[in-house]
Structure 1
Amino acid sequence: MTGGTRSRRLLLLLLLVGVAARAALGVVTDGLLPNGNFEQGPDASQMNGTRVTSPNAMPNWEISGFVEYIGSGQKQDDMILPVPEGARAVRLGNDATIRQLLSVTRKAYYSITFSAARTCAQAEKLNVSVGLESSVLPIQTVYTSSGWDSYSFAFKARHSTVWLTIHNPGIEEDPACGPLIDSIAIKNLSPPRREKGNMLRNGDFEEGPFIFPDTAWGALVPPMDEDDVCPLPGWMVMSDTKVVKYVDAAHHAVPRGARGVELVAGREAALLQEVPTTPGRWYGLSFSVGDAGNGCAEPMVVEAYAARATARVSYESRGTGGSKRASLEFAAAANLTRVVFQSYNHHMKPDGTLCGPVLDDVSLVSVRRHAARRLLL
């Protein structure tokens, strides 16, 4: 056998190994990541108490820093550490990281949804990143009575394999202090499109992050920089630390379709979209305002802004579901117009958790000038 033949065979073998490795990894599909609920744990020899001591002890994950493997009902001092799904979760203590290598479709958009709960630190936050895209998610505000919330993060795949990393940057006196993490899922996001008869993209909110079917608290969409990818395609959330909640019709009253947005942060968070407009031309913005049927029984007001026009839409919520339509007409002042929504007040359910009005079925169309009126109810 000549040297050239051996080289070609070696090259072919390396190519086959690479193809087999990519096939074994497999492009991720919508739903839980491999061992995304951490039910497969370390061997006893790879743990010191609850702390995981080996970087590769957790199947499908790599870890670093102070990572604990937590069982449902486990106690810390007088506090019981709950687990929302299954029997196991992980806790990220001081400077702790978990990460998983994902096979994805290059240039496609994805959202990550994961459940997190505070434990003993006061201002807990998580740095979620994929490649060069990252976001610091504040988790000090709790939006459920169980203490668990599901957070979302989105990215555009720059390569066919990417590392998903969740990192606790906090350093506490007690190195074990840090958030609990469970149930990590992924969803392929369709690029937002403008449907016929609507200048807005994803105005019905049907496209958004993965919502765990067995949880009743939806998925939180965090604030973002304008250059980031939003888990709610077409929209942006502007705030310092607060969020909006993406809810499903299986667990909430939604005015139309299967998804909607609950404005749970009052005036501290705004949901907005920028849309091309012609200066001086008149447009009509219409939308539904209601309640999620989750016991949030208070008088609600949604504020809508577009160009120089403003509307305050009142809705008397009984906490049992229902909605009303409202519309705002305005003259565009620029080539781009921001359509903005926020809740005028903070609201709270009887159990003390934050809630708010539900927004859905948002539409923007061009209208004749003579038909323009500021607010139609």
Structure 2
Amino acid sequence: MLFFSLSLSKANMQSLAFLSLLLCTAFHVAFSFTDGLVANGNFELGPKPWDLNGTVVKGGRKALPEWEISGFVEYIKSGQKQGDMLLVVPEGAYAVRLGNEASIKQRIEVVKGMYYSITFVAARTCAQEERLNVSVSPDSGVLPMQTLYSSNGWDAYAWAFQAQYSVVDMVIHNPGAEEDPACGPLIDSVALKALYPPRLTNKNVIKNGDFEEGPYVFPNTSSGVLIPPNIEDDHSPLPGWMVESLKAVKYIDSAHFSVPQGGRAVELVAGKESVIAQVVRTIPGKTYVLSFAVGDANNACEGSMIVEAFAGKDTVKVPYESKGKGGFKRGVLRFVAVGTRTRIMFLSTFYTMRSDDFSSLCGPVVDDVKLLSLRKP
């Protein structure tokens, strides 16, 4: 009996060890992804010298480590010039440039059904109508780059998708057709972040009203991240919100900017062309109170600002006199719902430029958006 008991215990231990191994393997597969740069996302690992012809990558589609390339792709070093123009490498020593119809692709492991945001840095070169197509099949989006929002020559952009498979191909493609193929945009610092769509609570009808859920923000840059125009809320890098405008809005963090509440906020950087919106469920005839914070990002954005808030056909204008050194005030809009759906929207009345850099757009910050119903209308 003792021998049998010991044997059984040993067998059980072996079974448990095997089960533990399976669980650990499954856990590793499901949670192997971490927010941050993708493999060689900063392109510091470059092609072999014999795979380069000057700056042009000639060694085939696998010549750039961790990436698959197509078309006219250049490997650009910091400080490099093109004629009289200095090519801007946003981070580190190297970046890639995409010529006409060129693309870079990387296969990544994700969790099927999960939402993700891609953040990357792009700099314009000599083309005027540059744009980029970002895709993870079956989703794709075109990001316009005609407007430069910072004076350092580059901006960080975000785009989101929902994973339809456990392994997906992330593609950044230049659909341009310039006369000079070496006039495409520079790409650097490609990162990925898992998004967790916020749920409604009894404390706020607005989803993600504090903007804490959003795209990856690079810890070593102070430019914020642009949420492109015409972004719908089904795959928004700012969950719950849409960018219903011709221009982008900027996602900022408290590590580099003044934020009214928590760690994240939105800066309306392009006047009435920067709009964020959300459609919420309401009860017709019921009275609601929309409250929010309006401030400045402590980024030398000075002057008279006005944030216009809309709830259906009701509106309020909240003025804010900015000294460009941080601070905020509260805005309130009380309204009676007329339908089962109400569109909540924010925009900036004026265009504003930074006082220390007249080539950089800036604007008021919106944060801590709350929508509550009153028990007694």
Number of equivalent positions: 349
Question: In structure 1, which of residues 305, 309, 331 is the aligned counterpart of residue 310 of structure 2?
Answer: 305
Deviations 1:151-189 (A, max 9, x none): 000010000000000000001111111100000000000
CA RMSD of aligned residues (A): 1.7
- 2:364 is matched with 357
In structure 2, give the amino acid aligned to 1:154. Answer: A
Matched, 1:266 2:271: yes
Matched, 1:220 2:226: yes
In structure 2, give the amino acid aligned to 1:313. Answer: V
1-structure distance, mates of 2:29, 2:211: 35
In structure 1, give the amino acid aligned to 2:140. Answer: S
1-structure distance, mates of 2:313, 2:145: 34
- 2:15 is matched with none
Question: In structure 2, which of residues 238, 242, 247 is the aligned counterpart of residue 236 of structure 1?
Answer: 242
Normalised by the length of structure 1, the TM-score is 0.90
- 1:249 is matched with 254
- 1:144 is matched with 150
In structure 2, give the amino acid aligned to 1:295. Answer: A
SS at match of 1:353: strand
- 1:166 is matched with 172
Matched, 1:49 2:54: yes
In structure 1, give the amino acid aligned to 2:130. Answer: E
Question: In structure 2, which of residues 75, 80, 91 is the aligned counterpart of residue 74 of structure 1?
Answer: 80
1-structure distance, mates of 2:306, 2:81: 42
2-structure distance, mates of 1:151, 1:128: 11
The 4+ residue runs of structure 1 with deviation greater than 6 A are 23-26
Deviations 1:60-94 (A, max 9, x none): 10001110000001000101112121100000111
2-structure distance, mates of 1:77, 1:279: 63
- 1:181 is matched with 187
Matched, 1:32 2:37: yes
Aligned-pair distance for 1:352?
Answer: 1.9
Q: Unaligned 5+ residue runs, structure 1?
A: 1-19, 371-377
Pair 1:263–1:227, CA change in 2 (3 A): closer
Pair 1:325–1:25, CA change in 2 (3 A): closer
1-structure distance, mates of 2:147, 2:338: 37
Aligned-pair distance for 1:367?
Answer: 1.5
Pair 1:246–1:335, CA change in 2 (3 A): same
Pair 1:196–1:25, CA change in 2 (3 A): closer
Aligned-pair distance for 1:224?
Answer: 3.0
2-structure distance, mates of 1:25, 1:46: 36
Q: Following superposition of structure 1 onto structure 2, how do residues 66-105 of structure 1 map, counting pairs within 5 Å?
A: 66-105=72-111
SS at match of 2:323: coil
Deviations 1:228-282 (A, max 9, x none): 4000000000123x10000000110000110000000110121000100011111
Aligned-pair distance for 1:304?
Answer: 0.3
1-structure distance, mates of 2:137, 2:38: 17
Q: Following superposition of structure 1 onto structure 2, how do residues 120-135 of structure 1 map, counting pairs within 5 Å?
A: 120-135=126-141
In structure 1, give the amino acid aligned to 2:85. Answer: M
1-structure distance, mates of 2:225, 2:157: 6
Deviations 1:306-329 (A, max 9, x none): 022110100000000000011001
In structure 1, give the amino acid aligned to 2:224. Answer: G
1-structure distance, mates of 2:313, 2:274: 20
C-alpha contact 1:220 1:244 (8 A) present in aligned 2: yes
Question: In structure 2, which of residues 300, 317, 320 is the aligned counterpart of residue 295 of structure 1?
Answer: 300
Matched, 1:315 2:325: no
- 2:332 is matched with 327
In structure 2, give the amino acid aligned to 1:52. Answer: V
2-structure distance, mates of 1:327, 1:245: 23
Pair 1:26–1:302, CA change in 2 (3 A): closer
Task: Point out the more displaced range, 319-328 or 79-88.
Answer: 79-88
Q: Unaligned 5+ residue runs, structure 2?
A: 1-24
1-structure distance, mates of 2:31, 2:53: 33
Normalised by the length of structure 2, the TM-score is 0.90
Aligned-pair distance for 1:226?
Answer: 3.4
Aligned-pair distance for 1:285?
Answer: 0.1
C-alpha contact 2:233 2:239 (8 A) present in aligned 1: no
Question: In structure 2, which of residues 105, 109, 112 is the aligned counterpart of residue 106 of structure 1?
Answer: 112
Identity %: 58
Matched, 1:338 2:343: yes
Pair 1:25–1:55, CA change in 2 (3 A): farther
1-structure distance, mates of 2:54, 2:368: 51
Deviations 1:308-355 (A, max 9, x none): 211010000000000001100111111110000000111111332000
SS at match of 1:267: helix
